[in-house]
């Protein structure tokens, strides 16, 4: 039995609402304080709305001005502290500095980190805050066995295994997985989940993994359409083993680009590319 067997959505995207409910059914609630960033408008694909709409105290942080105005509207009348700020990895922008500057130093039951990029680095920057449950986003297109972490300021995300290693270095352990989120609890709470499947290899979600298959001359084909598309080789730098094909590194550019291959296939089929010429 997995915690994901209890998944359902009221506001969340991949069943997180049900998983969170089950986790706290197992370990119990204490402070009933939850934190989420980026909180968006408070409701859209939220991992905490189902909590603060049911009596919890919410600390919701959003950097975008328009979304923050909607956040204020949507949380009116609820026990929520809305903060218009960017959560970063150093200085006054760290989560703990932001909380202290707003005199929000209570114990935290649940922390959700979801910022589409620097999630790993923000998690790494947390030092004294000790939430009883942490939910952190990962990139599901990266195979779980690869330890891949992009540099700060990215819009790429990290691998699930990199988050697991980071969490364990902080005394937190994986108990559940959705298509984009990991759930961790402190070692002291881990025995309470002995009746659930919690090993990463037994919870893997591979629906978003795309393989690149190559011919003997270097021609390639994808196993499926990549989840987030395939515009161009990334210029992002990472920590870990990886290879980025860069056109200038190909002698005489003898290997055709993906755009060239697609155009050739379209011409062969008697079709024209929809890409506008410049």
High-pLDDT (> 70) share of the chain, %: 88
> 266: burial class by Cβ within 10 Å (0-12, 13-18, 19+)?
middle
pLDDT higher than 80, residue 260: no
Q: Domain holding 190: CATH number?
A: 3.40.50.150
The residue with tokens 């005199």 is 103
Question: Does 145 lie in the same domain as 128?
Answer: yes
- pLDDT, residue 198, reads 97
174 and 60 both lie in a single domain: yes
Tell me the pTM: 0.86
Range of the domain at 57: 3-203
- List Cβ neighbours of 220 (8 Å cut-off, separation of 6 or more): 212, 213, 214
Compare 249 and 222 and report the one with higher pLDDT.
222
pLDDT band at 139 (very low <50, low <70, confident <90, very high): very high
Q: Count structural domains, the chain.
A: 2
pLDDT at 215 over 80: yes
Convert the pLDDT of each residue in 166-198 to its tens digit. 999 999 999 999 999 999 999 999 999 999 999
- Is there a single domain that holds both residue 127 and residue 105? yes
Contacts 24+ apart (CB under 8 A), 71-80: 71/39, 71/40, 71/41, 71/42, 73/41, 74/41, 74/42, 74/43, 75/42, 78/52, 78/53, 79/52, 79/55, 80/42, 80/52
Are 43 and 177 members of one domain? Answer: yes
Q: Strand locations in 88-211, DSSP E?
A: 110-113, 133-137, 149-150, 172-177, 181-186
Mean pLDDT of the chain: 89
Q: Residue 38 has what pLDDT?
A: 84
For residue 177, give the 3-state DSSP assignment.
Answer: strand
Asked if 87 and 60 sit in the same domain, the reply is yes
Write out pLDDT tens, residues 68-110: 999 999 999 999 999 999 999 999 999 999 999 999 988 999 9
Residues 148, 242: one domain?
no
Categorize the per-residue pLDDT at 270 as very low, low, confident or very high, splitting at 50, 70 and 90: low
pLDDT digits (tens, 9 = 90+) for 19-77: 999 999 999 999 999 999 989 999 999 999 999 999 999 999 999 999 999 999 999 99
Inform me whether the pLDDT recorded for 1 exceeds 50.
yes
């Amino acid at each position: 039995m997995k915690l994901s067997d209890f998944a359902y959505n009221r506001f969340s995207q991949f069943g997180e609402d049900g998983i969170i409910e089950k986790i706290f059914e197992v370990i119990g609630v204490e402070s009933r304080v939850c934190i989420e960033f980026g909180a968006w408008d408070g409701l859209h694909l939220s991992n905490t709305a189902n909590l603060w709409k049911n009596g919890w105290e919410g600390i919701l942080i959003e950097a975008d001005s328009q979304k923050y105005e909607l956040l204020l509207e949507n949380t009116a009348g609820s026990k929520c502290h809305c903060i218009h700020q960017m959560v970063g990895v150093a200085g006054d922008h760290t989560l703990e500095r932001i909380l202290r500057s707003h005199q929000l130093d209570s114990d935290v039951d649940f922390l959700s980190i979801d910022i589409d990029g620097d999630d790993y680095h923000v998690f790494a920057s947390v030092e004294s805050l000790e939430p009883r449950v942490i939910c952190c986003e990962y990139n599901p297109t990266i195979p779980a066995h690869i330890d891949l972490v992009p540099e700060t300021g990215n819009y790429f995300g990290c691998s699930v295994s990199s988050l697991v290693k980071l969490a364990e270095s902080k005394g937190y352990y994986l108990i559940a997985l959705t298509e984009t989120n990991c759930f961790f609890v402190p070692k002291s709470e881990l025995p309470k989940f002995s009746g659930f499947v919690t090993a990463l290899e037994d919870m893997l979600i591979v629906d978003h993994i795309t393989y690149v298959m190559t011919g003997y001359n270097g021609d390639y084909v994808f196993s499926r359409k990549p989840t987030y598309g395939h515009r161009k080789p990334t210029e992002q730098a990472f920590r870990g083993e990886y290879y980025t094909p860069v056109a200038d590194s190909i002698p005489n550019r003898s290997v055709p680009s993906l755009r060239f291959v697609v155009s050739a296939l379209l011409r062969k089929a008697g079709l024209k590319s929809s890409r506008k010429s410049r």
